Amino acid sequence: MNYKNLIKVALKALSNNKFRGFLTMLGIIIGVGSVIAMLAIGQGSKRSIREQISEMGSNMIMIHPGTGRFGGVRQSASSMQTLKIEDYKTIINETSYISACSPSVSSSGQAIYGANNTPTTIYGINQDYMDIRKYTVSEGEMFTDQDVIRAAKVCVVGQTIVDNLFPNGEDPLGKTIRFGKIPFKIIGVLTSKGYNSMGMDQDDLILAPYTTVQKRILAITYLQGIFASAITEELSDKAIDELTAILRQNHNIRPGDEDDFNIRSQEELSSMMSSTSDLMTVLLACIAGISLLVGGIGIMNIMYVSVTERTREIGLRMSIGAKGRHILWQFLIEAVIISVMGGIIGVLLGVGAAAAIKYIAGWPVFVQPYSVILSFAVCTVTGIFFGWYPAKKASNLDPIEAIRYE
């Protein structure tokens, strides 16, 4: 008996009991469908978090002064003055994995223009910052190296600042606003980026040369941070190692002593953020997986009933020459057909449900090809696994007893 015949026989048996077959399949359909839909939801939310983080900057690496000790007293990070302009200069001279690098100092305060004012933050940076944080100038232009060297009182403002300080739709370019007591001439307006994933307005800022902010606002010589951008995402780790080495050397830190700075990458942040959604995905997939298991048990149950019900048929088949393995395969193939057909319908249903969720609820949903393949494989294995015992039972029946079974 070849496999074509076995499949025919199994299909015949299923078509004799269509409704029961469908009900059995339903367990698998719901299991597979929910696995795919749940993974799609989990994956979608993870992707959207990653997207939002990557909007913050490109392969961004942030260096901040770390906690250090002076005479045994641990200092708070913000009061540390260990990052210097020399560190920045060494980095841009010696590094090979960094495509952009900017010093960073910032100050919060009130921006004022005429009768309008708004609380905001002024960031002291250089032109590279635009690339690192993915900002672009929509009107006017960015300040130049000359402005940085001269500590010029120029600035580029975000859209929120424009909205708050120029509510009547005046052209902000060329106007002079004040930040605290210091006047800044607006030479450019940033393209709006909107809110980030943490609900922060990314347009509520003023960018000015770092020298200007250091000297004229904060009156400091150290840096509050250095921002850098790795050439590619894969090189981030190497870049971090390199930066660590450069800074340790610059700061004369002996091997074994702890760093007096902190380096964090965007990837770290992103994986930190997505770990929550990973957990959710695993939980959802587990629940869906359990329903797949229950579906499998349903198959096993029905196959047992089917074997008992068809004991005489099995006895007859055996007495006219079917071997044990013929019977085994017949029932196994039947179980696999149920589970594979259920799997196919389940995949379609899961993908459809994912699309419906995306369309109706507007959730970020992404169906991964691997989840389709995985759940399909799982349900086939489920069919074989749960079909095996009933099929084995059928193949071990004694034809003499089976044929006279009432």
Q: Residues 3 to 22: which contact other proteins by CB under 8 A?
A: 5, 9, 12, 16
CB of 404 to other proteins, least distance (A): 9
Query: Does position 89 bind other proteins by CB under 8 A?
Result: no
State the nearest-atom distance from the C-beta of 336 to other proteins, in Å.
19
Please tell me whether residue 1 binds other proteins under the rule CB under 8 A. yes
Among 128, 204, 242, 313, binds other proteins (CB under 8 A): 313
Q: Which is nearer to other proteins, 18 or 74 (CB)?
A: 18
- By the rule CB under 8 A, 315 interacts with other proteins: yes
DSSP 119-156: EEEEEEE-THHHHHHT--EEEE----HHHHHHT-SEEE
How many angstroms from the chain centroid is the CA of residue 60? Answer: 16
Q: Angle 216-219-221 (CA atoms, 0-180°, nearest 5)?
A: 115
Q: Which residue has the tokens 């074997």?
A: 307
CB of 12 to other proteins, least distance (A): 7
Q: Is 400 in the site for other proteins (CB under 8 A)?
A: yes
Q: Please identify, using beta-carbon distances, which residue of 242 and 313 lies nearer to other proteins.
A: 313
Q: State yes or no: residue 322 binds other proteins (CB under 8 A).
A: yes
CB of 399 to other proteins, least distance (A): 5
Among 251, 326, 358, 392, binds other proteins (CB under 8 A): 326
Tell me, what amino acid is at 117? Answer: N
Q: How many helices (H) and strands (E) does the chain have?
A: 13, 12
Q: Is 156 in the site for other proteins (CB under 8 A)?
A: no
316 lines the binding site for other proteins (CB under 8 A)? yes
- Measured from the Cβ of residue 259, the count of other Cβ atoms closer than 10 Å reads 16
DSSP-assigned letters across all residues of 301-328: HHHHHHHHHTHHHHHHHHHTT--HHHHH
Which of 109, 390, 377, 64 minimizes the C-alpha distance to 247? 64
The least CB distance from residue 333 to other proteins, in Å, is: 14
Tell which residue, 179, 220, 217, has the closest CA to residue 65: 220
| Contact footprint for other proteins (CB under 8 A) | 1-2, 5, 9, 12, 16, 312-313, 315-324, 326, 399-400, 403
